[in-house]
Structures are given as structure tokens and as C-alpha cells.
Chains A and B, each alone.
Chain A
Amino acid sequence: MVNGSADEVDTFIRTLISYRSMDRTKTIEILQLVQHKYGYISRDIVSSISRHLRKPEIEIMGIATFYEQFRFNKPGDHTIKVCEGTACHVKGGAAIGQVLERELDVGHGETTKDGMFSLERVACLGCCALAPVLVMDENIHGQMDTSRLTKLLGKYKKGEVS
């Protein structure tokens, strides 16, 4: 992931659109490529795509917000994915999500103010035997409960895990 200034983002998008001769029918593809590079869809990105495709910002945002795959906040250093699948739901997955929202003071799809964590809701992760499950970065943490969750967050906050 690269942090781009508005100018850098603009140059990237202009090059992308002109080199591959993309037009406004390719909006989704452009958004995907840009998110791949920058990690999320920022306001500068939308403005820049809008300028080069000659398509209003609201239309780009309309497309981007329609799909779950696009995110609009800069991802944190660590991404927490909370499973909302059936098994996890039965075993109290929703409560885990609520605790996280409260503890980190963020909503789903958002990033904490210090930029450390971002929180995402996902459907089934495929390890239902471990329900309720959350995934921190690449690591699966099963049979979650409030106290294990607090401990886990603590480790990251103290910098014991990076």
C-alpha cells in the first residue's frame, strides 16, 4: 500500500485511464485497480477519476458504495474481521462485534483514530467449529469471548504483536 498525495494519485489515475484507454464503462475496473494500489478509495481518488472520466463524482460514489468490495477509509495497521455467519451468530458473534465497536470507538468499515485497527464485518469464514470467530490480519482467533478479546487487543496495543 502506498500513501499518495493528491497530485500523485491524479497522475496515477490519469496514466491508468489513458494508457489502457479506459472509458466510463470501465469505472469498476478502475476503482479496483486504484484500491489495489492505495488500499482504499479516498476523496481525492474519486475526484480524480471523475475528472478524467468526465463523470460526476456522485456517479462514481454511487457505483463504489453499491459494492461491498470498496472501502472508503484508510485501513488501519491491523484489520479485524468479525464473522457474522450463522454459526458465529448462534454462538454470540454479534456481541463480539458490539464490544469491538465500543472498545475501539469505530463502526464497521471504519478505522480507529490512531490508525491502528480497522473493523470489518464478514460473512462465514469457513471455520464454524471455532465459532464465534474473528480474524486479526491473517490469524484466526476462535471461540472468542469478551475477556479473550480484551486480552487480544491489549497485546496489539502494547505492541507485543506486530
Chain B
Amino acid sequence: MISINGKEFQYEPGRTILDAARDAGIYIPTLCYHSCLPTQSACRLCLVEVEGARTLCASCSYPVRNGLKIQTDTFRVLRARRMILELILQSHKLNCVLCDKNGTCELQRIAYDMGIEDSRFGSRSRGDIYDDSSFSIVRELDQCVLCGRCVAACSEMMVNGAIGFTGRGSDSRVSTAFFEPLKDSSCVQCGACVAACPVTAIRDKRSERMGRSFEMKKTSVVCPYCGVGCTFELNSRDNKFIRVTMDEPSYVNGIMTCVKGKFGLDFINHPDRLTKPLIKENGTFREASWDEAYGLIAEKFLTIKKEYGSDALAGFSSSKCSNEENFLMQKLVRCVFGTNNVDNCARLCHASTVAGLKRAFGSGAMTNSIDEVEKSDVILVTGSNTTETHPVIGSLIKRAVRYGKTKLIVVDPRKIELVDYSDIWLRQRNGTDVAWLNGMMNVILSEGLADMDYIKERCTGFEEVAEIIKRYTPEYVEKISGIPADDLIEAARLYAKAGRSAIYYSMGITQHTTGTDNVLSIANLAMLTGNVGIEGGGVNPLRGQNNVQGACDMCALPNVLPGYQDLTNPELRGKFERAWGVTLPDKVGMGVVEILNAAARGDVRGLYVFAENPMISDPDTNHVREALGKLEYLVVQDIFLTETAQLADVVLPSTCFAEKDGTITNTERRVQRTNKALDPPGEARADWKILCEVAGACGYDMDYGHPSEIMDEIATLAPIYGGMSYDRLGEQGLQWPCTDKDHPGTKFLHKGKFSHGKGIFHNIEYKPPAEVPDEKYPFVLSTGRMLYHFHTGSMTRRSFTLDATVPEGYVELNPLDADRLGVKEGDYVNVRSRRGEIRTKAQVTDKVDVGSVFIPFHFAEAAANVLTNPVLDPIAKIPELKVCAVAVEKAE
């Protein structure tokens, strides 16, 4: 027991006086304390009197122990606190009238509580640095109270190290490394400092004077970008998006965000938003009514179905939209179109993961959870530029390495940021992943580091695999992959000897003709060392789109029904047929790339594209254009007139993430609610409504009053979502499998037993990529993402901060190659492959190896996918976007 202000309270050991007081409902003012940050103990406002202590104690860092007698509001405490506050106030320009944070400013609140209007010491405002160089952040040091929260957020939470304290005593201030403007520093505009600042010394630049905190409607939404599933408060006023705040730390990301989530959402207000249905007549669009558009779609699609059969129709679902909407989309295609030709862009990112991990473990999702990153002893990152593509997870990895005991192995052909944090970096040649993975297993087996008990008890198929990998000696692997044998041995030992080793991977593994093989090899490696089914271990594919996990769970996929239920199984199919009142097609449908090929052949004649942009995202753009052009009827439902929508016959204006309710499943299988913050622009309608109305127009009744009703239907049909409902999801969401109303959700999979019984080892031999460099096309091209843009750029390129920071595409070129080609930084070059040619700017950097180039695929005017090779992985049908051969030459 402890006593606070004369009352007795229970306490939890290991907590501080501040925690105990807050638990007990006793208010102690704090300024430098933030629950998501390491304790600073800098501001001293939380001083309390502890009986027996010589001086007043900072409650934020004083551990509680039994019998402690604490007073929080004696005269001595209040007098000291008043003095401290006045000292702090003198360095804060009292600018409350014009301040965006008026009403939620923590300093203002404390001064208000204590009745202090001004400092008796006057103002120490020094006309100090005012730095608005950054596109998104303003720093005004005359507001700064030196609490240190921004510094902790930048260096210890995000591990970016752009700002810190310099100087000493009264000269100390928060600055960049060389006192340069923020724009020229290593700042990546993640906005953690803005979220951490208790005042407005660091603030959101784009929304200055657009409304004070208390005028805002704040709605909790899930970020529309990557698969981390960050949630934050979307601030809106008069139905306009204003800014993103994080007053309440969220469950997944605390107050962490990246530049896209924090500063990249102004596309919501963009004037290009579609507001009315468009119908193409004689090559140009005209505005139309919803009824006319629906009528036309129903007529055309039903005619095609009647004349050419169901399989002449297809639909692309959207991994950017909610679970409910994906569920409806696949229901529309299956029940109304009568075909299984439905797919989503997971085909282009993690189809091989779903195929591979399903075979090996019985479940095709990330095995562990995001918050386990810091519990791993060793993390192996391969084929994932995590700090750019999943920045919040990237920061967690950096934090684990820098401030924890975690060791990091990076296997990547590019010198990505994580290489700077790694203990070992293996630079493999593009497309040689099976070789080095087998090589690592070879070392682990020959050195006796495999977990034989685990293998015997929980896995099958090991003996044959052991036979195959005998040939993959480190020397043999070095010949194929270019990884020095010694480094490979060292990495294998590090990975195998650790207690908890986790593998994180992404597109670098999956987007190959050997994508499924790569994934299966990763699964082999993890099982060999007993790292599946334990906390802090696992095989963790990082999903790209915010709801690509959900789109797969809802089975907007050609071969499975919601909840990964095999559609060739009559029993399972029967369950859905009874629920939906139709006879479902029993033939497995086609994937994204195959549908486009079929369209080019004339086999698929009607296509419904729901918030996707295959013109930019799919390989071999010229072929995609030709395929879409051959369609008899193309319907696109989107928020902007994307490159694909421009080719459509009918365009339906839909809503963005902030304009509808729904649930989103993030990469760690967590289903989270996202809420409607704004009314859609013009006549745009919520996607789930549109899908229901299209089905209705085609004569099939799909009628729901609210997405929660759709979720209830999902729960009855898909066992992994069985226990979910809007009421239960609440703030934290639930991680599937969650099979009934009492199931707490699943933090990590395969505990004690694999989902389908025994883990299965697969025999995987190395196969070279489909296209390798030759004399005519001497460079290896790898495509991918970069920090400031997302997917096809339809959102990020309409967001001021993101587009201003990186306004155009580029190709990364090694300095030696650049020299040989006579190319300097910023010169234009032509990049040519067997399929097409683009012109783009050269970025000369040692990030890429000699003989390799890298192009981000977001930029329509220099679209990397003009060049890429549409050859597919035979199992997962994922195209080989990571390796093709190109030639580079200086442009005129």
C-alpha cells in the first residue's frame, strides 16, 4: 500500500509515483512526460513531496514502493511548481490567440489550472530560429520549452536522429545537426516531433491557422497507405480535412506515423475528386445520373454474360477498401457475374506468400505481431526496404537494434537504410534467394545448429530437404549469389544460435517467377531452427496495401471463398450457396495478369475494376493498355480519374477512406474499425453502397443498411472472423483467427501446432530468373517503392507535401556505371527493355550495385512497368517485377 494525500492505494510494483497517482485519479501536471516516450525528467513540474526525502521528487521517474507517503499539493509543492512554471513560461512566446493548439496545449492547461497569466521573469523570447524550410513542419524556437519530447521522439522512438539538443545551459536549443534548416537535414518528415510537442514549437505547416484544436471534429481512422495499420485522429472542420493529430496514443502505432499518414492525406480535398458518374460517348466522358450508369452497366454485363458466358466477365477488387467492400465485390462477381474471375492486387505483391505459407504452415499470413519486433533476438530482413515501405515497423526494428539487444541481418541487393543498422549485410544478386536460403540451411545443418526435436515433433518432409541442401555449400552459393561464403556462414550461425529469430520479408522475395519457392525456402529455414510458433520469432511477410490482408481474407481471390475456404469443396461451397441463394461456379477463376491476358485474347469481355489502377501497377504497361482497349465494357469505380479510369466506358465516383465506415485488416491480422469523418464530395457514394446498387440493378438483391451488417454476415460464413462484430472490435481491434464471441484473437500463429497439423518442408531447388542481363540489355532492373509515394501515386501525387518532396521519378545508378555511361546526377537517361522504353532522371548512388538499376514504380510519366517482364510464377501467378534486363543510355 502507498498513501497519496492521506489516502491509501494499492500499487503495482515497477511503476512510478506518477503512474500510481494517475491510476488513483489524482492529477499531477506534466509537460515532458509522454506515455509513448522514454521518461525525460526534464520539466520538473511533476514534483511531489515524499515523506523522508530531502528534496521534492520528480514523480515521473520515482519508483513506487511499499509504505511510500506522498503529498501532491502541499504549499511547498505548489510554490515550487509555480516557480518552475514561470521559469518555463518565460521561454514560451505567449501567442495563444493565434495558436492552432489553443485548447489542447499542455502548457496552457497547466498555466490555466494554476492561474498563471504571465511569468514574473518577463519573456525570454529571443527572436529565435523560425524554420519553415520543410514542406510539412514549422519549427518556432521562441515557443520551445525544451521539454525534450521531440528529441526523444526523433531519436529514441523513430530512430531518425534529425534533431537533438545542442549547446549548454541558456544556450541550449533543439536544432538539426549543423544548425541547418530542417529541409536540409536528415529529417524524413515523419511528424513524430509534431505529435510529441506539448506546445506548438514544432507544428503542422500546411494546416496553420486553418482551425484551432477545439473547433475540430476528430475521428479515428485507419491510415489508407501501407499495411502497418496505423490509426490516428483525422481532424476536420466544415467537412474539410484539416490535419492529423494523435492526442490519444493508438494501440498499434502509439504516436508513430510516417510522412504519408501524417502529412499525405490532403488528396481528400483535391479538386480532381470525381463527383458524378461519367459515361463515355464517342471517346469523351459526359456526366450522368447514377440510375443511368447502373442501367447501362447491368445491360452490358448481362448481355455479355448471356452471349459469351459468365467467364467472359471479371472483376478486380481493391486492397485499398474495407473488408466489407471486398466481401461484397467477390459476392458481386460470384453471385451476379457467376464466375470466379475475381482478384485483387495482392496478386502483384503477396500471392506467393499466401500460396507458399499456406502450403508450409497452413495459413498464409504474418505469423507474429508488430509489437514482437523488439522481443526478437535476431531479425533477418530480406527483400524489404522496411524503413521506406513500412516506416513504423522500420523504426521499431531500428529501435530494437540501437536501444535493445536485437541483432540484425539484412539480405538485400540494395544498400537500404537498414544496412546501416545491421550486424551482417549480405548482398545477393537479384533473384538468387533460394540459393542463399538453402546455403544458410546447409551451414545450420552441417554445424548441428538445427532444432531437431522441433522438426521431429512438429514437421514432416525434412529428410528429403536435408538431402537437397547438401549441395548448397557456402562456396557453391557464393558462385550463384555473389555472397561471400564466410559472411553466409556467419549469418547462418547468428540466425540459428539465437533463441528467438524472426524473418521479415516483402516484395523482394515474392515478386519473382520463383516467388512461391522463395517463400517456401524461408518457411524451411524458420522451421529448421524452430522459430515458428514462438513469440518474437516467425515468418513475417509485410503486407503492402492497408487492407491487402483483408482483401485476401475476404477472398477476393479466384480460388477460395471468404475465410480461405476452398471453392472446389462442394460442402464448403454449399454453405455459401445456401446463405446467398445462388449456385456458385465451381471452377477456379483467373488472377489479375491472366485476366488481362484473356482480355487481350478476347476471352474476357467485361471487366469491373474496383479502385485499382492496373495501368500503372501491372507489368508491361503497353500490353495492359492493349488488353483493356480490347474489352467490350470496362467499368471503373474510383475516387480519381486514374490512368485506368480514363480507358473506362463508365466511371463511378466513390468515396475515400475517410468518408465511410468499415474495417481494415492490417499486416498482423488485426481487424480495426475505421470511421466516417467526412461526407463524400458531390454525388460520390460509399463503395459498399455502389456495389449493392450495381448488384440490385443486375437483379440480385444485396441490401445492407450499414457495413456492420456485412461484418455480421462475414462472421457467420468465415470461421477465422467468426467472433468478430463492430461492438467487439472497439479501439484495439482483434487479430484473426477469432472463431467465436469469446475468443480473444490470436497474437501469434502456430503455437504448439501448425494450422494444418504438421509444418511441411518443401524441396526447393534454385532456378535463375526468367530474364538475365546480356550484351544488348546489360543491366538488371529492380522496381519498388520509396518513402514519399505509394503504389500508383493516384493519392500521394495529389498530396502537396509528398509530391513537393519527390516530384518526379528517377532511376538509381551506381557511380561506376554512371561514369562509364557519361551520366551525371540529374541527367536524363533512357531505360529500355524488350517491352518498352522510358525516359527518367538519373540518381547516382551506391545504393545499387554495379550492373543494377532501381526504378520506383509510382510515376505514370516514367512508369517502371513499361519495362517489366510479365512472366509469372507458375503457382502463385505473381509477375517477376523484381528482375528484368534493361539497357541504359544517356538521353538527349
Binding site for B on A (CB under 8 A): 43, 46, 54-62, 65-67
Contact = CB atoms under 8 A, between A and B. Distances in A.
Chain A, interface SS category: helix
B438 interface: no
B155 A54 contact: no
A59 B161 contact: yes
Contact of B186 (A55, A56, A65): A56
Given A46-B178, A59-B161, A54 B168 contact: no
A62 B165 contact: yes
A92 to B, nearest CB: 25
Most buried by B among A59, A60, A67: A59
A55 B401 CA distance: 12
Nearest to B420: A54
Given A56-B155, A59-B155, 13 more contacts: A43-B178, A46-B177, A56-B162, A57-B177, A57-B178, A57-B186, A58-B166, A58-B185, A61-B166, A62-B164, A65-B167, A66-B167, A67-B168
Listed from nearest, the 6 A-B pairs whose CB atoms lie closest are A56-B161, A58-B164, A57-B177, A65-B166, A58-B177, A62-B164
A62 B178 contact: no
A51 B165 CA distance: 19
Interface in B126-179: 155, 160-168, 175-178
A56 B164 contact: yes
B777 interface: no
Contact of A61 (B178, B402, B420, B421): B178
Contacts, number: 46
10 contacts: A46-B178, A56-B155, A56-B160, A56-B177, A57-B186, A58-B161, A59-B161, A62-B166, A66-B168, A67-B168
B176 to A, nearest CB: 7
Contacts of A43: 178
Contacts of B176: 58
Interface of B: 155, 160-168, 175-178, 185-186, 402, 420-421
Contacts of B177: 46, 56-58, 60-61
A60 B178 CA distance: 10
A77 B175 CA distance: 30
Nearest to A72: B178
A59 B164 contact: yes
Given A54-B420, A56-B177, A58-B176, A65 B163 contact: no
Contacts of A46: 177-178
Contacts of A59: 155, 161, 164
A61 B168 contact: no
Nearest to B160: A56
B650 to A, nearest CB: 53
Contacts of A66: 166-168
Given A46-B177, A46-B178, A57 B166 contact: no
B178 A54 contact: no
A55 B621 CA distance: 43
Contacts of B178: 43, 46, 57, 61
**Of residues A55, A56, A58, which shows the largest number of chain B Cβ atoms within 10 Å of its Cβ?**
A58
Contacts of B167: 65-66
A119 to B, nearest CB: 17
Nearest to A67: B168
A57 to B, nearest CB: 4
Nearest to A61: B177
A66 B175 CA distance: 13
Nearest to A54: B420
B161 A57 contact: yes
B694 to A, nearest CB: 53
Q: Give the most central of B166, B177, B421: most A CB within 10 Å.
A: B177
Contacts of B165: 62
A58 B168 contact: no
